[in-house]
Structure 1
Amino acid sequence: MFRGHSHRSIDPKGRLMLPPDFREILDAGGSGGKLVLTKYDGCVVGYSLSEWNQVQAKFTQIKNPSRQIRNFMRVFIGGSEILELDRQGRVLIPQSLRTYARLDKEVILVGVGIKFEIWNREAFEEIEAQDFDDVADAIAATGVEVGF
C-alpha cells in the first residue's frame, strides 16, 4: 500500500523521481515497472498496472451506466496512460496530465492506499490547511473505525 507524502520536483522534461518505497510497491505488484497515471480530483493519480486492471474491470461490471458515469469513464479511463519507470526510477508525466493538475516544478506525492497522488504543491497545502473536525462522524458512518 502506498502511504506517506514527500515533496518532489519535476524536471524540465516532465519527469518525476518516485520514492524508493513507491518503486518497490510497483515492482512487487508484478507490473514490471509499469504504472498507470490518470486524472482525478484535481491531481494525477498513479496505480500499479495490476491494480489499475482491477479498478478498470470494476467499471465494466456497471450495468447500463448513466451518462454521468459514462462521461466520468471517458475522462478517468480514457485519460489514463500506461507508463514505465526509467532506470533512475523516474516517470515521464504526459503534458496533458501535468496541465490538468497544474503540475509545475514543485509537487507533493501522496500515498493513499492502492494508489498515489501527485499534487500541485499549493493545491495540496490548501487541503492540509482544512479543518477536518467534522469528518470523524462521516468516517464512522461508513463503518470504518480509525480510533478517534
Structure 2
Amino acid sequence: MVNFVDEYPRQLDERGRIILPSKVREKMSDTIYVTRSMSDKCLHMYTQEEWDKISEKINQLPTATDRNAAAFVRLFFGKATSAVIDKQGRIPIAKRLMEYAGLSKDIVLVGANTRLEIWDSAEWDSYQNGLSDDFMLEGIREYGLNI
C-alpha cells in the first residue's frame, strides 16, 4: 500500500498539466486516476492499486436494484478520469475537473494517506485557516485514536 504525506506546491502549466514531485512519482504506476472530492473543493488522485481497491468496493453496490447506488456509481466513475504520467513526470488534469475544484495556476498536492489531494493554493490556505487550533486534538478524541 502506498502512503502519501507532505504538501507540494506546484503550478499548472498552460495545458493544465502538473509536474509530479519525484518523491511522488516513485510511488506511482504509469496510470493514475483523478476524481472530484465528495466533501471538499479539491480533487483526489489515486494510484492504479488504490483505484482497483475502490472499484472493487463500489462494484459490490446493488446498482441493479438501488437507484441511489446506480446514481452514485455513474457520478463517481463518470466524473473521474485516468491519465498516464509522461516522461517528464507530468499529468494532465481535465478542464472540467479543474473548474470543479476552482484550480488556478498555483496549486498544492496534499498527501492524504492512500491518495493525493489537488487543491487550489488559495483554497487550501483558506481551508486550513478555517480550522480551529484544537481541530487535531478534537479529532484524536472523537475517533478514539491513540497516537
TM-score, L = length of structure 1? 0.85
Is residue 2:52 matched to residue 1:50? no
Q: 1:108 Cα shift?
A: 0.8
Matches within 5 A, 1:3-82: 3-26=5-28, 31=29, 33-40=30-37, 41-63=40-62, 67-82=67-82
Tell me the secondary structure at the aligned position of residue 36 of structure 1. Answer: strand
Q: Distance in 2 between matches of 1:104 and 1:114?
A: 25
- Aligned residues, how many? 141
Are 1:39 and 1:75, in contact at CA under 8 Å, matched by a contact in 2?
no
Are 1:8 and 1:109, in contact at CA under 8 Å, matched by a contact in 2?
yes
Are 2:44 and 2:118, in contact at CA under 8 Å, matched by a contact in 1?
yes
Q: How big is the alpha-carbon RMSD for the aligned residues of Structure 1 and Structure 2?
A: 2.0
Uncovered stretches (5+) of structure 1, i.e. residues with no partner: none
Tell me the secondary structure at the aligned position of residue 46 of structure 1. Answer: strand
Tell me the secondary structure at the aligned position of residue 109 of structure 1. Answer: strand
Identity %: 30
Q: 1:138 Cα shift?
A: 3.9
Q: Distance in 2 between matches of 1:134 and 1:6?
A: 22
Q: Which amino acid aligns with 2:27?
A: I
Q: 1:128 to 1:23 in 2, by over 3 A?
A: same
Uncovered stretches (5+) of structure 2, i.e. residues with no partner: none
Are 2:61 and 2:69, in contact at CA under 8 Å, matched by a contact in 1?
no
Structure 1 residue aligned with 2:93: 93
Q: 1:74 Cα shift?
A: 2.7
